[in-house]
Structure 1
């Protein structure tokens, strides 16, 4: 028999969960940083449902642009993840931190005397963003290290006063952005400033702290934000980070300052205390569900934000597009980071992926810019969907072998369907061959719409089918089980009785965040359940993706497919509580995917359930997803 496997990398967690075996921790122990705040505490009250979204006029460009460039560049770009001959794996811009190399202030500040980025070319970076299809650039004006990457009058710890470079790269970037007609924004770390704190290991709240946050806030933060909003022309975004335990009054003071100096400037939710214009998800977080309002995902072209000499895990143009499309399809914006080297040069492989994606956006950008999220509220087995008015854009990530894709729950009648950027057939096509852009469609009695393609996969990174509807989309959101390709039932779409549905996150390396939605904390007799709509009766191969520790090892789980039962005995996947890698007694999660059997499913709507067998131990498995693959003889 032949299994038609889904090739999309989104569901393959195991590839993301292989860690490098090290004889010693890759970064300094948590104890080196006295009473360190967790990242949840540092990010502060910036949850997506707490942001005060911008008014329509101020947020108009944000809703239209969808795709921006992030730049992390600073003193940290010089060591690039290495200190005194030792490599610290993780995000390089945190190298000074007590969580990583724990570098004393006096040693770290010596990097400024070495900082002479003669290969920095503002016009070339802006042109890269333009060619990549990005509409804005946000660059680090001051990261947590405290070093200003512009000529600041409020501190001599800046690139023009403290380095041999003697230029203002942010001014050069502002001029280049204005000339190219794209937006500019500044990243500013408002609470963490390890230089002013005297050490990255001594928080403002520490009894050992000799400085005072309020004094620093008034002396440095307010003046520097004023400089950035006064001396560099129109600013699209002030992108704040890690507000920690700043008061609401302090967050509002920065908002009021921004409104006074640049009324149209947008502020992200990491200003803290729920006073931002738009929400920023956690680092590297790709949402599986749609969110209301204005929000963004921030991501990197490799793993680290700042340049890291060892990090060669570059995203291809195809992967960049998949992540961009999926974010826009969830209703969000995508901001993708590059980390220039200490000499100012953009890594070649980062640029290569961006430019490949940019080629696609030149001919298919209408599916991204100004588009709305998918009315289905989730990805499809074969790809994802964006919307403009009565047009659906079906982005096909995994081109089917039989040239047919299936869409569940579309109630509208269809006026037309075609491959994007394919014209009407010319004379030669009409005389000697069929129209290669033709897409035929059938509204089936089973509630699915089938699209049949009259051509092999187009020679583009992501083919798009444009479907014009009669009226705005009307959708039955029941998850469809595809008859041709693997369908993944993620736990975020399940109901849960006697268990908890929750997103968890963990770090493989410091700052390298991974996310997973789970059904967890099971109690005796609990049940997780998905409502699905099976397109075609047939046999389906079932796999279960989960994480478990040695306590949960050997536990049994019952999966019911409309009455047909499959059993799974859980294995210890290597999940570890109190992991050294996580610090602070937190858990390092490791997922595996087990093959559990074959079931015969009948066409139509039905439920799929999972329950623990017998008494639950250790809270049970962390169930991430069930994968259903149709079997073709």
Structure 2
């Protein structure tokens, strides 16, 4: 009998594990298009564009009273709305899906909702139109995936418990009947959206206001899956989501989930705000996309149409510029997976699904070659996407290579170098020996390895290996002698010029905060950035909590400007520091930038999640 019980238990566990494996496999299948897409377009459109104010939050935070906010319905005409033009622009950008706000927290439905007491654009706005149907129809015709944004909170609905930050309509525990009315209302609206549009993705928002049980999220998921078993749901349907949704801040470390998407504004606003002119450059947006791709994620880039339905020229330009780059580099975008560790190449990278191709994204130009190290696989071919000219390859040893790219092969925003292997890429985990004084300073008769050696030096310094400790190097470089007979003049001059970044400096900051190598001063108040080549746009630092006192070029003293983007004044999460680098200040070999902080270095490395409060 005991034996039979054991056999039965074993078979039960085996069957359970099979079902679990099948569930994971099925989940992976439905997520494949999303994982391959890499780029989507977010659309925040609503009556808030009339006054150019914060969507929903403006009345919630009492910046404007609710009646005045809703009066914008009278000015929301959408008289120049052309959904086909929107879709054409989205497709031109290279995006594979779009997510449009069907209803924000203000409760205004952009489709013809028949739910009781629904406020809709067709009934209540000057537009007198269903704005979702034509867009979804055109999106599907274009072969793009459809995403619908839906706010769980509805601050305007009379039977929703929360009205503004200062006012509640009722306590749902004391008045469950009213809460039940609201649940029926929002579930009805979700059924409408699901049945009418059969979207590929639901993008929920606002789950922080109630618990999963109060929202009845398990019921919502079942409701949506009954119509479409393959429906994808974001992480903001509490405990029911398929992928993570960091917001505004580009992740410093790769999110833990298998699938994730950064939702990101072009300026500082989600909806149209005419006086928000702080647009990021197209170059910055392209490099943000690369950041996401290199970590295996997606970028959901936001646009905010005007109340008449047209899209601001600044936003159109960014989408078109993005399209130029994505069209040229499609192979290095769609269907790729996260790249290899930074120690192998000083650039962002991604891999093809079969792991036989490595894509190296270069947001700088250089005449000194690109070093790829620690590669055990045999290289079949090296080429630059969008350019047929050959790439000269020098094999330094069994695992290390230098690729020389011609001036005309560089892209103005980001060049993509493709390395094709004979099989799956195999990486060497062996640590390279730190560069020695002899190797650094010696004159090599055949090949000039100045840049390679300085790059290796900066990498060693970044790891806390400082060969200048216990030498005669002073902070000002004065009277420095390498002690190497016939030492290389260019190296000697570089060391003297950049002595302050070498003298008693300590290991740099962790990977993810800055693309290149770094070191810290002994008091940890100056961060030194090593910069190879000529950047195509401003260089960036992520997750820096300190205030910046000043930024200068080491060895020159030239002061540099910086700007901070995506810093929400009420949030503890730091913004992204962008530093403009004039071409004139670049060192022939390796530029060093000193960032003076207001105190010892403080870094933010937590996950960047959904924005749950918008003051």
Higher radius of gyration, 1 or 2: 2
- The residue aligned with 2:602 is 622
CA 1:137–1:559: 2 relative to 1, 3 Å: same
Contact 1:102 1:200 in 2 (8 A): no
The alignment status of 1:310 with 2:275, answered yes or no, reads yes
Which structure 2 segments of 5+ residues have no match?
1-23, 435-451, 465-490, 509-518, 527-544, 549-567, 580-597, 606-615
User: Deviation of residue 260 (structure 1)?
Assistant: 0.6
State yes or no: 1:72 paired with 2:72.
no
Between structures 1 and 2, the one with greater helix share: 2
1:61-140 correspondence to structure 2 within 5 Å: 61-81=33-53, 92=55, 94-98=57-61, 101-140=62-101
Does the aligned pair in 2 maintain the 1:93–1:305 contact within 8 Å? no
Aligned partner of 1:60 in structure 2 is: 32
Q: Distance in 2 between matches of 1:365 and 1:145?
A: 38
2:124 alignment partner, one of 152, 156, 162: 162
RMSD: 4.0
**Of 284-293 and 118-127, the range deviating more from structure 2:** 284-293
Aligned counterpart in structure 2 of residue 568 of structure 1, from 520, 523, 534: 523
Q: TM-score, normalised by structure 1?
A: 0.64
1:105-151 alpha-carbon deviations (Å, 9 max, x no partner): 22322222222111111110000011111111110011111111111
| Richer in strand (by share) | 1
Alignment correspondent of 2:404:
452
The one-character-per-residue Cα deviations of 1:292-337 (angstroms, maximum 9, x if unpaired) are 5111111122221111121122233332221112211101111111
Question: Are 1:559 and 2:506 counterparts?
Answer: yes
Per the alignment, residue 239 of structure 1 pairs with 203
2:194 to 211, 229, 246: 229
Q: Secondary structure at the match of 1:417?
A: strand
Name the residue aligned to 2:393: 441
Q: Secondary structure at the match of 1:229?
A: helix
Q: CA deviation at 1:57?
A: 2.6
Contact 1:302–1:314 (Cα < 8 Å) also in 2: yes
Residue of structure 2 equivalent to 1:467: 419
Please state whether the residue corresponding to 2:203 is helix, strand or coil.
strand
Residue by residue, what CA displacement relative to the aligned partner does 1:520-563 show, whole Å, maximum 9, x if unpaired? xxxxxxxxxxxxxxxx998495999xxxxxxxxxxxx97269xx
CA distance, structure 2, for counterparts of residue 463 and residue 181 of structure 1: 28
Is contact 2:362–2:416 with CA below 8 Å preserved after alignment? yes
- By how many angstroms is 1:187 displaced? 0.3
Which has the higher relative contact order, 1 or 2, with Cα contacts under 8 A spaced 6 or more apart? 1
1:285 counterpart (211, 235, 250): 250
What secondary structure, in the 3-state scheme, does the structure 2 residue paired with 1:466 have? strand
Q: Distance in 1 between matches of 2:174 and 2:309?
A: 35
Aligned partner of 2:473 in structure 1 is none
Distance 1:227 1:343, change over 3 A: same
Residue 193 of structure 1: how far off its partner (Å): 3.0
Q: What is the DSSP-based 3-state SS (H/G/I as helix, E as strand, rest coil) of the residue aligned with 1:289? A: coil
After TM superposition, the structure 1 = structure 2 runs for residues 474-513 of structure 1, keeping only pairs within 5 Å, are 474-476=426-428
The two structures have a TM-score, normalised by structure 2, of 0.66
Match of 1:190 in 2: 152
Q: Distance in 1 between matches of 2:344 and 2:154?
A: 37
Within 2, Cα distance between the matches of 1:153 and 1:542? 72
Distance change in 2, residues 1:589/1:367 (3 Å): closer
CA distance 1:566–1:295, change in 2 (3 Å) = closer
TM-superposition CA deviations, 1:270-313 (whole Å, max 9, x none): 1112x211221233434443655111111122221111121122
User: Which deviates the most, 262-271 or 103-112?
Assistant: 103-112
